[in-house]
């Protein structure tokens, strides 16, 4: 049995969605990031990087880094439909898309969510948040171009982990009204991903978490 550490207000839900796509069983171990539990000695003995998600395999290996965990699960459980196998012609574009999201969009989103970590003065927080939002949109516009030429999914007619990741992050940019209007192919892809029967409930949960986290932030709380 897999043990998945993570929970509310985190990207752990991406791993849960891959588990759902593959019908893979796991046990959830809730880590409260609002309470700083991810920095506790107990959790650092599992993932010294102090971040969630982390996942312990049935053999006892501890894995971290969301895209790595998702790839691992898909490959181990033969989910070739969401991760093209080595040798498949779409494997190259798939890796480019996934690494683009991981190395370009994800760090920008981290600045958007935790702007206070990137400033020396409190008054610079709104500026960092605005600047990271703009950078993220540039990444989305690049993806939009790719989807316009090759869509409706990143790999054409075939849904993959790239679409899942892109939809997850874009869902947060969508909270600013009309922000994604210049990216219609991205919006179309997001609609398809969110409507996948196995994924629908998870995107419902993400919307509820977004609303709850926004309410916390307006009261001055959140992850420090």
Ligand X SMILES: N[C@@H](CCC(=O)N[C@@H](CS)C(=O)NCC(=O)O)C(=O)O
Binding mask 194-223 for ligand X (x = CB under 6 A): -----------------------------x
Start-to-end Cα distance in the chain: 32
Site for ligand X in 84-123 (CB under 6 A): none
For ligand X, the closer of residues 148 and 171 by Cβ is 171
The C-alpha atoms of residue 130 and residue 93 are separated, in whole angstroms, by 30
DSSP string, 13-53: HHHHHHHHHHT--EEEEE--TTTTGGGSHHHHTT-TT--S-
Task: Supply the minimum distance, in Å, between the C-beta of residue 12 and ligand X.
Answer: 7
List the beta bridge partners of residue 56. 3, 62
Binding flag, residue 66, ligand X (CB under 6 A): yes
For ligand X, the closer of residues 33 and 206 by Cβ is 33
φ/ψ bin of 174: left (φ > 0), alpha (ψ from -120 to 50), beta (otherwise): alpha
Answer whether 194's CB lies under 8 Å from 167's CB.
yes
Binding mask 120-139 for ligand X (x = CB under 6 A): --------------------
Binding flag, residue 11, ligand X (CB under 6 A): yes
Binding flag, residue 56, ligand X (CB under 6 A): no
For ligand X, the closer of residues 51 and 173 by Cβ is 51
Q: How many CB atoms lie within 10 A of CB 69?
A: 23
- Residue 165: phi and psi, rounded to 5, are -65, -45
For ligand X, the closer of residues 10 and 144 by Cβ is 10
For ligand X, the closer of residues 115 and 151 by Cβ is 115
Q: Which residues bind ligand X (CB under 6 A)?
A: 10-11, 33, 38, 51-52, 65-66, 223
């Amino acid at each position: 049995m897999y043990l998945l550490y993570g929970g509310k207000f985190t990207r752990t839900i991406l791993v849960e969605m891959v588990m759902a796509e593959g019908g893979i069983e796991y046990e959830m171990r809730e880590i409260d990031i609002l309470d700083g539990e991810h920095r506790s000695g107990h959790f650092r003995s599992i993932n010294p990087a102090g971040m969630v998600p982390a996942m312990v395999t049935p053999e006892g290996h501890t894995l971290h880094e969301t895209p790595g965990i998702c790839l691992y699960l898909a490959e181990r459980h033969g989910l070739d439909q969401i991760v093209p196998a080595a040798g498949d012609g779409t494997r190259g574009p798939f890796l480019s898309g996934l690494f683009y999201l991981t190395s370009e969009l994800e760090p920008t989103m981290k600045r958007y969510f935790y702007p206070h970590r990137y400033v020396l003065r409190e008054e610079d927080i709104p500026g960092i948040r605005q600047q990271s939002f703009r950078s993220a949109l540039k990444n989305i516009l690049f993806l939009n171009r790719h989807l316009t030429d090759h869509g409706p999914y990143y790999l054409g007619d075939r849904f993959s982990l790239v679409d899942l990741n892109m939809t997850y992050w874009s869902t947060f940019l969508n909270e600013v009204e009309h922000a994604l209007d210049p990216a219609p192919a991205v919006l179309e892809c997001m609609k398809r991903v969110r409507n996948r029967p196995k994924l629908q409930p998870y995107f419902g949960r993400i919307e509820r978490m977004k609303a709850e986290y926004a309410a916390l932030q307006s009261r001055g709380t959140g992850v420090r």
